Amino acid sequence: QKEVEQNSGPLSVPEGAIASLNCTYSDRGSQSFFWYRQYSGKSPELIMFIYSNGDKEDGRFTAQLNKASQYVSLLIRDSQPSDSATYLCAVHNQGGKLIFGQGTELSVKP
């Protein structure tokens, strides 16, 4: 079992809809969680990070964290075709490195 699990997708949503991306992690001691967006052949781009239980909103993006359930999610409101990419959930390891999930491919259809 991977330390960080995501549904690989592809997740397909129509333009303007809400896209919901989910992630679970195995290390109960993890403290910080990151969402990266990666276009094919490009580098991961940091979208959001969250440390505390609950919701954190930034523009069209909302990250949700539930440490008791070891669950992190990312909601994208008013999805646009330009949001089509692979979304990587990453968990910060005590040593400093990021442990990534396998990524969820999102496709937003016009």
Partner 1 sequence: AAGVIQSPRHLIKEKRETATLKCYPIPRHDTVYWYQQGPGQDPQFLISFYEKMQSDKGSIPDRFSAQQFSDYHSELNMSSLELGDSALYFCASSLGGGGSYNEQFFGPGTRLTVL
In the region spanning residues 59 to 98, those forming contacts with partner 1, defined by CB under 8 A, are 88, 92-98
Shortest CB 60 distance to partner 1, Å: 20
DSSP letter, residue 106: E
Q: Which of 17, 45, 72, 79 binds partner 1 (CB under 8 A)?
A: 45
Evaluate whether 51 touches 33 at the Cβ level (below 8 Å): yes
Nearer to partner 1, 53 or 78 (CB): 53
Please give the backbone phi and psi of residue 57, each rounded to the nearest 5 degrees, phi first: -110, 140
Residue 37 to residues 13, 28, 29, 86, 94, Cα–Cα distance (Å) = 16, 24, 25, 6, 23
Q: Is 25 in the site for partner 1 (CB under 8 A)?
A: no
Nearer to partner 1, 96 or 110 (CB): 96
Rounded to an integer, what distance in angstroms lies between the CA atom of residue 100 and that of residue 81? 24
Q: Which residues bind partner 1 (CB under 8 A)?
A: 31-32, 34, 36, 41-46, 49, 51, 88, 92-103
